[in-house]
Chains A and B, each alone.
Chain A
């Protein structure tokens, strides 16, 4: 076990001692920093004291347009329900220019984390081959399985670190820009025609969780590509391309039933909590099973190839 921790330390050393990977962390911090400044300088007015009146007016306006635009019906229904809930339960809307509103937006950064993690995952095994260091790495009294596991885990720890950095920095920067607030407000969500009250911090971590599924699957995919093809550009390019186009492709093809077996139709688990499933008949358990099958496939392929391969780099 202590041996395994040593291996993780090794992989971490190889990740964080490289300029490129540190620059990615800086880019992430830069992105959050910039979003904060944009929010701060934005022209929107703070929520006024007679917000109840305003919400009522807003609802009345929406009731009118709802008849004209039946396409948008569900969207309006949702907003109206949320506004009414606020009025009856006296829950003031969260000011956009507040620390917690800013922190609550931070899960948006996960799309960058996705790309950065794919970059690290795609180089994890392939780089050892292109550097030629794989030969010295593998001639130790450690099984190839253990080495691969330490590489995979270190990749995931990198993703986790980026998420934590995002959260902590968003909280700090939000506090600096908008003032620290130690009583986060309430988030309202709407599912199956009902309004649900949630702590904003809890809600935010749920957002991170939902978004992390794509991250986990695509990082695992990139890792597999890296192991099989020993070519980091291919692994990274292909994985990023799929991540960006996959979800859209699945939407376009959603009229076909077989689409439900595609990975990208199942990565958004939010469809079961706050929205409607992509294809009729899809359930949470179905998606979890599909995800599990893909995950096992990706990891098993990496493992088999890495374990069996003759190293002739």
Chain B
């Protein structure tokens, strides 16, 4: 991960009419990472993305792309950005290829070879000379991606990129976005309200709700971190088990059930505790660990009701 952030949001606010939609978002996104932008419907993901690409003005704060302010230095800032905002709507009466030619004419220095390259990349070679109106949703999504990558941007912003893709397509795009981040050092920003998907492809995830940032977390930390989790041991004698584990785990972290013992501990502790139980002659029928996934966190912070 590079040192200087490629995208900086500083207390970004948006007010439409009398309604505050975004209440001051601050976070940085670095080159080489896939950054997830997670929130329930209506959280303000698309609105934030619109501000990041200059489609909407900011009511407060600023957005810098490679240090360039998107509002005051629009052309320089936007040159670094490739994006899909909501659905990738293309000119339906043109072919996929003509659509790409259209966008090529709007930037400097994109060769015909580059067009062929991105077409190949998104796997549209066979259908590129057909009219877009004959494309399926997934194919349009791919064409949208091709359009966003055309000018080799250093920041890629995709609003719900897996929308309409089949499982194979989702896996492909996930793999591909990771490649872009890792191999080319691009900052990839994806929004979604599907957490499971985000966990698989993002390095860090920002959770927003009602236009407020709830937190930015590293996905890795969550999956393998030392954070404690509840581990349940199915045992024949919970009381004996408590005695056995008492010098590993503090008493207040232990709960007893009818035929089980639950203890909060770090992942690394599990084998040790298990061994102790066995040595002490407690019969262990099963061990289950309840990882606190981002989803739990997400459900926790968003109340769980609003997620689709």
Enumerate chain A interface residues (CB-CB to B < 8 A): 3, 6-7, 9-10, 13-14, 17-19, 131-133, 135-136, 138-143, 308, 310-312
Contacts and interface: CB of A to CB of B under 8 A. Distances in A.
21 contacts: A3-B105, A3-B106, A3-B108, A10-B106, A13-B94, A17-B93, A18-B93, A19-B93, A132-B86, A135-B85, A136-B103, A136-B144, A136-B147, A139-B55, A141-B76, A141-B79, A141-B107, A141-B108, A142-B106, A311-B56, A312-B50
Interface of B: 16, 50, 53-57, 74-76, 78-79, 81, 83-94, 98, 101-103, 105-108, 144, 147
Contacts of B105: 3, 6-7, 9-10
Given A9-B105, A140-B106, A135 B90 contact: no
Contacts of B76: 141
A133 B87 contact: no
Given A6-B105, A136-B147, A141 B75 contact: yes
A136 B90 contact: yes
B54 A14 contact: no
A308 B71 CA distance: 12
A296 B88 CA distance: 36
A6 B106 contact: yes
A154 to B, nearest CB: 13
A135 B148 CA distance: 12
Top-7 shortest CB links A-B: A132-B89, A6-B105, A140-B106, A311-B55, A310-B56, A141-B75, A141-B79
Name the residue in A14, A18, A139, A142 with the highest tally of chain B Cβ atoms < 10 Å from its Cβ: A139
Contacts of A19: 93
B301 to A, nearest CB: 27
Given A13-B94, A138-B55, A141-B107, A132 B87 contact: yes
Nearest to A140: B106
B103 A140 contact: yes
B4 to A, nearest CB: 21
A19 B94 CA distance: 11
A143 to B, nearest CB: 7
Nearest to B159: A135
Given A310-B56, A310-B57, A143 B75 contact: yes
A138 B54 contact: yes
Name the residue in A18, A142, A143 with the highest tally of chain B Cβ atoms < 10 Å from its Cβ: A142
Given A136-B103, A311-B56, 9 more contacts: A9-B105, A132-B86, A135-B55, A135-B86, A135-B89, A139-B54, A139-B81, A139-B85, A311-B50
Nearest to A311: B55
A57 B239 CA distance: 133
Contacts of A133: 89-91
A13 B57 CA distance: 30
B108 A312 contact: no
Nearest to A137: B106
A150 to B, nearest CB: 10
Contact of A141 (B83, B106, B147): B106
B57 to A, nearest CB: 6
A139 B79 contact: no
A56 to B, nearest CB: 62
Nearest to A139: B53
Contacts of A14: 91, 94, 102
Contacts of B79: 141
B56 A312 contact: yes
Contacts of B147: 136
Nearest to B102: A10
Nearest to A138: B55
A141 B78 contact: yes
Contacts of B87: 132
A139 B107 CA distance: 11
Contacts of A310: 16, 50, 55-57
A3 B53 CA distance: 21
A19 B133 CA distance: 14
Contacts of B92: 131
A139 B75 CA distance: 9
A19 B76 CA distance: 37
Contacts of A136: 84-85, 88-90, 103, 144, 147
